[in-house]
Amino acid sequence: MVLQKILHMNSGNGETSYANNSSFQNVTISKTWDLVDETLRNMLENGDFADDHCLNLVDLGCASGPNALSVVSHVTDTIQELRKNGDGTSQEIQFFLNDLPNNDFNSLFKLVEIFNKGKEVCGSRSRCSIYGLPGSFYSRLFPRKTLHFAYSSCSLHWLSQVPYGLESENEENIYIAVDSPSEVLDAYAEQYKRDLFTFLSLRGEEMVPGGHMVLTFIGRRVEDRSSKDDCAHLAILAQTLLDMVTQGLLKKDDLHSFNVPIYMPCQQEIESIISQQGSFKIKKIVTFPVRWDVNKDTDESPFDKTRSGNLISDCVRAFMEPMLVSHFGELIDCNVLFERYSVKIGEYFSKERTSHHMLAISMTIQ
């Protein structure tokens, strides 16, 4: 399977779309604003960009929907604000929105148009050109030494491919599970290491001297790669798929050959890869929990198992459905799968109230 041809989030603006089911990612993004602001301040205070015609910024793995525009808006406003008291330089900004070619760029471009009109209406003088940039962030995306600031949130847990050899080892699991053999843990960790290494090397080539990067990872709080809490959302999805196999709704072989190309690293792992690769120096790391069922509109309401189950299920569906459909084919009824999943995950969550462990890292090119 060529992952880059399959991987995308649910398109459009409908009920199951990523655009409508990405509160988790939205809350994560907003929790990193302080780090982003501090990074941009450092970059503009210390960088020598006077001869550059424009500042080139990118959101790597932007998906489609309001989150991408919230990043553009926050970053460009912050730069504008910082420059008010600064040295008076005012290069124009080019903001690139990067994702894989199957991403719903059409919907994204409509939002860009609305965003640009909004800027005009407010009389904003900040000049920012926004472009779509299709391609894998595991390949070169920019000419050498042209990129000033790279941002990526909740995207770098996606691997470039399913690690080799997993089909025969991981059986009814679809990701690392508590009972996964060590070969599975190693295959995932090795693939992750290769991928992050590649990512850092490429960005290292593309960045201007003084360039900065803020990356936010969905991580693991402990070094143990098969810790229950960090894998449970995918373990429960595997159980739900297995129930459907048992009932003859899906084929056993299809489940055995299905493995999700995701990896959630712990802080030590990321730090060690960054230092081994050597292009970037870490300036600051912040970690914070984000509850699985977080929802920016209704966060204050009392706990409700069904509501939380639905929120988590809708979020997982928005990123898993295209991959499930591509693997299981027409056999899979995602309405049935995710109705069942929402009950199971709601039940689990009512006992565990789990959060994802998020890690945001600010770094600069060495």
The pair of three-digit structure tokens given for residue 7, joined into one six-digit string: 């991987």
Q: At what angle do helices 305-328 and 334-352 cross, to 10 degrees?
A: 140
Tell me the C-alpha distance between 287 and 133, whole Å: 29
Tell me the C-alpha distance between 186 and 189, whole Å: 5
Four-point Cα dihedral 286, 290, 296, 302, nearest 10: -140
Where does this chain touch ligand SAH (CB under 6 A) — which range of 95-103, 171-179, 283-291, 306-314? Answer: 95-103
Q: What are the backbone dihedrals phi and psi of residue 361, each rounded to the nearest 5 degrees, phi first?
A: -125, 130
Which residue number has the CB closest to ligand SAH?
61
Taken as a whole, the chain contains a residue count of 366
- Greatest CA separation for the chain: 68
Q: Which of 107, 9, 108 is nearest to 314 (CA)?
A: 9
Per-residue interface string for the shown chain with ligand SAH, residues 324-353, x marking contact by CB under 6 A: ------------------------------
Q: Counting beta carbons within 10 angstroms of the beta carbon of residue 137, is it exposed (0 to 12), middle (13 to 18) or buried (19 or more)? A: buried
Per-residue interface string for the shown chain with ligand SAH, residues 102-131, x marking contact by CB under 6 A: -x----------------------------
HSE of 359, CA atoms in CB hemisphere, 13 A = 21
Strand partners of residue 57: 95, 149
Per-residue interface string for the shown chain with ligand SAH, residues 43-62, x marking contact by CB under 6 A: ------------------xx
Q: Which is nearer to ligand SAH, 70 or 146 (CB)?
A: 70
Q: Which is nearer to ligand SAH, 44 or 202 (CB)?
A: 202
The single residue among 8, 220, 317, 357 that binds ligand SAH, judged by CB under 6 A, is: 8
| Size of the residue set binding ligand SAH (CB under 6 A) | 22
Q: Is 154 in the site for ligand SAH (CB under 6 A)?
A: yes
Q: Is 191 in the site for ligand SAH (CB under 6 A)?
A: no
Strand partners of residue 92: 54
- List the beta strands (DSSP E) in 300-354: none
Question: In the complex, what is the shortest distance from the CB of residue 152 to ligand SAH, in angstroms, rounded to a whole number?
Answer: 7
Are 26 and 296 in contact by the 8 Å Cβ rule? The answer is yes
Q: Is 63 in the site for ligand SAH (CB under 6 A)?
A: yes
Q: Is 29 in the site for ligand SAH (CB under 6 A)?
A: yes
Where does this chain touch ligand SAH (CB under 6 A) — which range of 133-141, 170-178, 225-233, 278-286? Answer: 133-141
The single residue among 22, 107, 239, 362 that binds ligand SAH, judged by CB under 6 A, is: 22
Footprint on this chain of ligand SAH (rule: CB under 6 A): 7-9, 22, 25, 29, 61-63, 67, 98-100, 103, 136-138, 153-155, 158, 160
